[in-house]
A and B are shown apart, each in its own frame.
Chain A
């Protein structure tokens, strides 16, 4: 298990939109490494001849008919939003993208 570099953590921070200070970056490299180390134990599992699995049940083609079901009301939908404007979710300015 290769360990995480400081650059990796900085890159993850950018992707996750988390602003980390230099000191926090240093600390996170160590902490994330410990977590990855713990998770890496699964790599010791004997998996020869075992196909990768993304779902615990051997099911396929579970679908529903294309029939409209009741939605939430706008009030219900917006009830958990910290801020609402014009019946829409109000969110902080998005960084640099369009």
Chain B
């Protein structure tokens, strides 16, 4: 840990901060496209390749190299823009963003400046209580990612104390879409939740569009959170008096690499700004770094001296001027918006709001949809996916889809398991054992059940014999049941199941016991 990340700024209690100030946010999200090749050259984009094995004269910025735009990346950019309800530019250019830093060997990043490919959109995001908040989108533009630096000699690979840096340019030139919101106002105390819900909705949208892996932990989706405070006026954070107050000075927090961090970082900055402003101080416009471990931000560079990027139109690239027919053809390829899709599926599946939220949070919507398509009931699909597989995925710190894919555990397996339950071959506890075996890599459900010899005893005579023995051994319990205390049957069922080594249908045992004693 660097000394910087241990400094603790004063923070104001969050509720007090919100009572005294009105928070305004601006969110910039970078999405790395999952194209086969880079934005301006044909180098591969595979994650985790050996260092500097996916580079060429173009992405290394060697003299004389000329960029050519990736057609699929432009198409993805337009689909993202359309899905965000944006206008698509009839004509736009790339621009050079000039800065000196070794992660960009050209000494500029090819980006877009005042002519973004998409602009003036919105995205409706759902909050935890089911209400909807509209985020206005300023723009979505195309640019390229930078190389990755490894700082050597510092305490933890950070720049502080490093004596030199090692650079890998495999990531340099990978297509990025930067999505920028208009100022998000009127959210009041829910600002941190709104920020998380927005990034979460964007992630779902990118997945639905199939344009990016959107893995925040791998950096294929990154969020910078701008936060500023202004004095509270009137009763309502979204009232006209409040909205008329000029915006305060903002800070931009970087390195926010999970949905939870987005929420925490915004909340922290609100409390930190409030403490400074309440103490009569002023906010320094600067970049802040979020520290996941300590839950604080620390100062990065001050913006004022480095903000001069001297943008100018990129002379090596010609303008992008998508014909309107192309735009309309792309609009026709847009998937059902994730929020609508969720509402539709919830109705189809008959889930409660809470059940649906659990399924969404577990990342199980697609898995359940595929499982249900194989004839399994939605409730059974939910029960199996949100049980042991989710628990193990959590323990492995993976999302459910990745975990299941890594294991080769499919909706087909869940359907097979549930089919055995429905056919009366397995009871619930046996099915859980089979599932454990499948997740332990012992094979598909039927194979595991066969190998472990798990099968309900269908022999009614054996079951009846066991019941008769248990009744005979427990005359007092039997008497209670005869007297109408039906709930006492539980004690007998347990013993019957034990006698049957668990391989009996507990429901059937219960029915037989009651039949005999009533």
Q: Across the interface, do B164 and A93 meet the contact criterion of CB distance under 8 Å?
A: yes
B515 within 8 A of A: no
Cβ < 8 Å to A, chain B residues 316-367 = 317-322
Cβ < 8 Å to B, chain A residues 47-84 = 54-55, 57, 59-74, 77-78, 80
Most buried by A among B56, B151, B300, B322: B56
C-alpha gap A78/B153 in the complex (Å): 22
- Tell me which residues across on chain A come within 8 A of B37, comparing CB atoms: 66-69
- Tell me which residues across on chain B come within 8 A of A57, comparing CB atoms: 318
Pick the contact of A89: B35, B102, B312 (CB < 8 A).
B102
Give B94 Cβ to nearest chain A Cβ, in Å.
9
C-alpha gap A15/B300 in the complex (Å): 17
Q: Across the interface, do B168 and A54 meet the contact criterion of CB distance under 8 Å?
A: no
Most buried by A among B52, B100, B159: B52
A62-B52 in contact given A54-B315, A55-B315, A91-B167 (Cβ < 8 Å):
no
A60-B319 in contact given A71-B44, A78-B52, A97-B300 (Cβ < 8 Å):
yes
SS class, residues of chain B in contact with chain A: loop
Q: How many residues of A contact B (CB 8 A)?
A: 40
Cβ < 8 Å to A, chain B residues 418-455 = none
- Tell me which residues across on chain A come within 8 A of B301, comparing CB atoms: 96-98
C-alpha gap A66/B318 in the complex (Å): 18
A7 within 8 A of B: no
Pick the contact of B101: A63, A90, A97 (CB < 8 A).
A97
B169 within 8 A of A: yes
Give A1 Cβ to nearest chain B Cβ, in Å.
18
Q: Across the interface, do A54 and B42 meet the contact criterion of CB distance under 8 Å?
A: no
A77-B42 in contact given A67-B36, A72-B57 (Cβ < 8 Å):
no
C-alpha gap A49/B152 in the complex (Å): 55
Pick the contact of A71: B43, B163, B312 (CB < 8 A).
B43
- Tell me which residues across on chain B come within 8 A of A60, comparing CB atoms: 91, 318-321
A94-B159 in contact given A64-B71, A86-B166, A88-B52 (Cβ < 8 Å):
yes
B155 within 8 A of A: no
B374 within 8 A of A: no
C-alpha gap A67/B54 in the complex (Å): 14
Give B115 Cβ to nearest chain A Cβ, in Å.
10
C-alpha gap A98/B306 in the complex (Å): 13
A64-B100 in contact given A55-B315, A72-B57, A77-B52 (Cβ < 8 Å):
no
Cβ < 8 Å to A, chain B residues 140-162 = 149-153, 158-160, 162
- Tell me which residues across on chain B come within 8 A of A23, comparing CB atoms: none
SS class, residues of chain A in contact with chain B: loop
A72-B56 in contact given A91-B102, A98-B289 (Cβ < 8 Å):
yes
A73-B53 in contact given A60-B91, A91-B102, A94-B165 (Cβ < 8 Å):
yes
C-alpha gap A11/B50 in the complex (Å): 39
B193 within 8 A of A: no
Give B22 Cβ to nearest chain A Cβ, in Å.
31
Nearest residue, chain B, Cβ from A56:
B315
Q: Across the interface, do B318 and A55 meet the contact criterion of CB distance under 8 Å?
A: yes
C-alpha gap A77/B159 in the complex (Å): 25
Nearest residue, chain B, Cβ from A18:
B100
A98-B159 in contact given A67-B37, A93-B165 (Cβ < 8 Å):
yes
Q: Across the interface, do A87 and B50 meet the contact criterion of CB distance under 8 Å?
A: yes
A61-B318 in contact given A77-B52, A98-B289 (Cβ < 8 Å):
yes
A46 within 8 A of B: no
Q: Across the interface, do B306 and A15 meet the contact criterion of CB distance under 8 Å?
A: yes
Which positions in B face A, CB cutoff 8 Å? 35-37, 41-44, 50-57, 60, 62, 68-74, 91, 93, 99-102, 149-153, 158-160, 162-169, 289, 300-301, 305-306, 308, 312-315, 317-322
Which positions in A face B, CB cutoff 8 Å? 11, 14-17, 54-55, 57, 59-74, 77-78, 80, 85-94, 96-98
6 A-B pairs whose Cβ atoms sit less than 8 Å apart in the complex: A63-B68, A63-B71, A86-B166, A90-B167, A94-B101, A97-B159
Other than the given A64-B42, A92-B165, 20 more pairs (CB < 8 A) read A11-B305, A16-B100, A55-B313, A55-B315, A60-B318, A60-B319, A61-B318, A64-B69, A66-B70, A66-B71, A69-B56, A72-B56, A72-B57, A74-B51, A77-B169, A80-B62, A85-B166, A86-B166, A88-B150, A98-B159
